[in-house]
Each structure stands twice: as C-alpha cells, then as structure tokens.
Structure 1
Amino acid sequence: MIRWCAYCQRFLGESAPYDRLVVSHGLCGDCHATIEETRGEVSPKIHAIAEFFRDVLRRSLAGEHIEVDELIDRSRALGILPVDLVIGVIQPVLYELGRRFAAGEVPHTFEREFTRTGAALMKHLAAERPPLPPSAPRLLLGVSPGNQHQLGPLSYAMILAEEGIAVEPFAATLVSDYLSRLARGDCDALGLSVALRGQFEHALAVARAVRLAHPSLFLALGGCISKDPDVLEKAQSCFDWIADP
C-alpha cells in the first residue's frame, strides 16, 4: 500500500499489504501542523488534486487515450512534482486497471493503452531532468525474467535520480550476462526487483554469483515478494539491503 500525503502530494513510504498498490491518503508532519494552524480548513487546491486523480482514473477505465502533455501541464499547475505524479497517480491507476482486467471488468487493451502513456510520460520527464554528474554513483537495476511492464524500473530510476543516483535498467536472463556487464567496473551497486517466487530464485542465483565475483559490490533486493518471511530469511545471507523487511 502506498502512503500518500493528501495535502502536499508527497510520497510517504509503504505499508502492508505490500502487494497492493492502492493509495492510503494521510498527512505528513508539515501539513498536519499547517492544518492545526488553519483550524482544519481544507484548501481548494486539495479538491482540485483529488479531482485530477479521479479524472485520470475515470478516463483510463473507459479506455480513453490521455496525452502526456495534458498530464504534465495539469500536474504542474497543481504543484505536483514529476516523481510524485508517477508514484501517486500513474502507478495506482495502472494497478486499478490491472485489478479490473483480472476481474474481467475491462479489456487488456485499456491496460496496455495506459501503460504506453505512463512509459511515454516517464521517458519525457527523464529527458527533461538535468543529467547527473559523471561522478554520481551508478546502480545496475536488474529486471527479472517474465516482467512484462517497464514502469517499475522507470519509477525506481526517477526516485533514485532525485537522490543523485544514476540507474541503468538491465534486462537479462543469464547470470553470465550480469557478470559480463559488471566486469566493466563502472557500477557501484546491483539492485534486483522481484514480484514472484520464481523470479526470486533467479535473483538469488544472480546475487550469489555476483557476490563471489565482486565481493565489495553493494547488493540490494526490492519488490513485494521481498516482504515474504521465507524469502527474507534466504535473502539476508546474500543481500546488503532488503526493501522494507
């Protein structure tokens, strides 16, 4: 579950259940203090932000194409940062489309349409971002075999770029592909994101091989399956960092 500030539209982190990309609207500390000062009055801007999200969701569930420029212009007018637009609007809408497709309520074409829009939006935003300096730490982000969507890795790249970390998405099936890429010596860390148990076994094999070949390389594991207690126990011996254990 995504925790979100309903006032300033900032990402506040995750909470259980981790495998559901629904948005739980709360308040950050800064906004809570502001509300107390104004005696709980709700800014008209908050209503406008909520309507923006509802409009995007409503139109995507109808299979309507939404232009990238419209998303950017409307979000900027509301003061929503690019990374927050992706995490707080694009990802939850895509999750809802996937849920309704699984329930037979919308056709797969609707999900694919919005996926294309989301990918185009993130590529556009990435192109607008000032380049990171050559000295910026670099993370090789492994995309597990079987993943059909690229929005997750693109989202990670946006979030980490805000922290000054360069991300290189890397889709490979063979462990040897990872070893060959890392042999160049220009990566400071390897991140592996997993959603399914089968993908975790692949990630574990990659991590073990990389640990032998590059003992000092920082290894990170993310994805909803990393919260599984059985997975966590196996992962702790191979990874330096595990997302929200």
Structure 2
Amino acid sequence: MPHRKRRGEDPLEQAARTALCDALLAGDEPQAEAAAILLLRRGRPLPSLYSGIVQPLLEDLGERWARGEATVAEEHRASTTVRELVVRLRALAPPTASSRDIRCVLLPATGETHLLGIAMLEHVLVDAGWRVDVLDPLPPDELAAYVRARGDVALVGLSASGRFDSRGLTRQISHIRAALPDVPVLLGGGAVSADPGLPARAGADGGARSLPDAVRVADQLTNPLTPRELDVLAGVSSGCSNNEIAAQMGIRASTVKSHLERVYTKTGSRDRAAAVATAMRRGWMH
C-alpha cells in the first residue's frame, strides 16, 4: 500500500502520510486537508505530495479494483475526495498575479476519461508561477484558434492515463503540431510513467513521468536561453561586471559580451536590467 512506512521517514510525517491516505480512502475531506497541510508545512513540495502519495494511492486502488479487491464505490469515493482536496489546497493560497507572462494550455489526450491528473498538474503549474487554462477536448483547429486568440500560450500539455487510444493520441499530437508549429507539446500522465518512450513515438516535444518532471520539462521546452546564457544572466542579476562574470565562469569577457547580445535578442531587451527583468517575468530564470 502507498502509506506503508518508509525507511528514515520522520515519525510525524509518516503519521500525516498515513492519515492522508486513510482519509482519502474513507472520503474524509477535512482530515485529508489537515494531513496534507501538515505535510506541506513540514517541507514536502506540492508536486511530491501529489505524485508521491496521492497518485500512488489512486493507482493502487485502481489495481485492486481490477483484481476484484475493491469496489467501484470505493474508487469513486477516493477520486471524489482527491478532487475536493485539490480544490481545498488551491483555496488556501490567496489569489496572486502569475510570476510569468506566458501561459500553458492543458487538455486530455484522445479518449482520456481520467481528469484528476490534469487537476493536480494545473495546481502544480500554477504554484510554479504559470498561467494555466484547462480545456475540454477540442479539435486541433479550434485549439489553434483559441491559442492564437490568447496570444501568450507557450505550451500545450496533454494528459494520458494508462487507458488510452495510442493511434488517436499520435493523430492528435500530429494535428496539433501542424496547426501550432511554434508551440511545443508536452505529454504526461500514467501512460508516460508506464512507457517513458511514448512521448517520442507519439510525436510530442517532451514527456513527463511525474508532476515534478512536468514542471521541469515545461520550463525546458519554453526556455530559449542556453545554460551558459542563464549563467551569464545570473551574474548580471547579482550585480557583477562582464569581467567578474568571465572570471567566475572561466571564459573571456568578450565571450560574456557575446552571450549577453544573444540574451538581448531573445528577450527583446536593450540593456542588462531589462534582460534580467524579462527573463524572470517569463520564468526563464528564478
């Protein structure tokens, strides 16, 4: 079971994790919220809470249902409680402006019926500063029209659970890429966890086996700055001169200047301060 004791785990965290799992299975929404809040306050990251506790519990319950060891009512009760937990946890944080001026659009893959993963992914991305729109399944042309009307969409995310139409998924991604050639497609969900090679075969630009993976890959797919350019920009944000950055990085000052010129082009900036501000606003550096 997902809530068995883990080696080296703090006793209070173990108790909170067990309480969270038991509350989700019992349909006890207030207890689930209290246990989740305790884990978050003790330092467990939100993506780890979902991917390390909640999702394994749902997967285990689904496997037990398939073996005839759990009822549909038990699976429904747990899923409903998880959905409410996500709503409650999101309500805890006061509405704040996004730290990025780019947006991610999430929608289910073709044939996908399990939408809890999208709800958790939305929360994790919003917590990481993204603007997120969750859409119902849309034909590629309607999705493209929506993205163009928005004007700030930098990523399309698709979620596929373990039960999905592989041919339909490949067609869906192919049509999205044809309609939106400049917007990368990220594929995540249980199907990717079970088959890490699926995103490449289906034609996605990147894949995520877990929620922490999703945040990391989303950043990679939407960040035009190279690691070296980010290092230079980090030096700039710390108030260092070109010569100081060059000494720290073991390169020439002229190379630092070349990196900065490329950063200016990519950020549409004319000076160092504006480049840092733009990169931080877009979530390209933290």
Q: By the TM > 0.5 criterion, same fold?
A: yes
TM-fit CA distance, 1:113: 0.8
> Aligned AA for 1:85?
L
Match of 2:56 among 81, 85, 92: 92
- Which structure has the larger Rg? 2
State which of 99, 109, 120 in structure 1 corresponds to 2:84: 120
| Structure 2 residue aligned with 1:131 | 96
The C-alpha deviation readout for 1:27-75, integer Å capped at 9, x for no partner, is 9xxxxxxxxxxxxxx68xx1122233334434555xx3212x3222233
- TM-superposed CA distance for 1:97, in Å, is 1.6
C-alpha RMSD over aligned residues? 3.3
In structure 1, the partner of 2:36 is 75
Aligned residues: 204
Amino acid at match of 2:36: S
Shift of 1:132: 3.5
Is 1:187 aligned to residue 179 of structure 2? no
Alignment of 1:23-42 (within 5 A): none
Q: Please give the secondary structure, in 1, of the residue aligned with 2:134.
A: strand
Query: Per residue, is there more strand in 1 or in 2?
Result: 1
Task: State the TM-score, normalizing by the size of structure 2.
Answer: 0.59
> How many angstroms apart in 2 are the aligned matches of 1:174 and 1:148?
16
Of 111, 114, 129, the match for 1:164: 129
Distance 1:87 1:233 in 2: 22
TM-score by length of 1: 0.68
State how far apart, in whole Å, the 1-side matches of 2:34 and 2:176 are: 43
CA contact (8 A) 2:173 2:185 kept: yes
Q: Match of 2:257?
A: none
Distance 1:233 1:75 in 2: 35
For structure 1, the 5+ residue unaligned runs are 1-20, 28-41
Offset of 1:111 from its aligned partner?
A: 1.0
- C-alpha spacing 1:126/1:82, structure 2 compared with 1 (3 Å): farther
2:32 maps to 1:66: no
Question: Closer, same or farther in 2 for the Cα pair 1:210/1:152, shift >3 Å?
Answer: same
> Larger deviation: 99-108 or 209-218?
209-218
Alignment partner of 1:234 out of 201, 205, 212: 201
Structure 2: unaligned runs, 5 residues or longer: 214-286
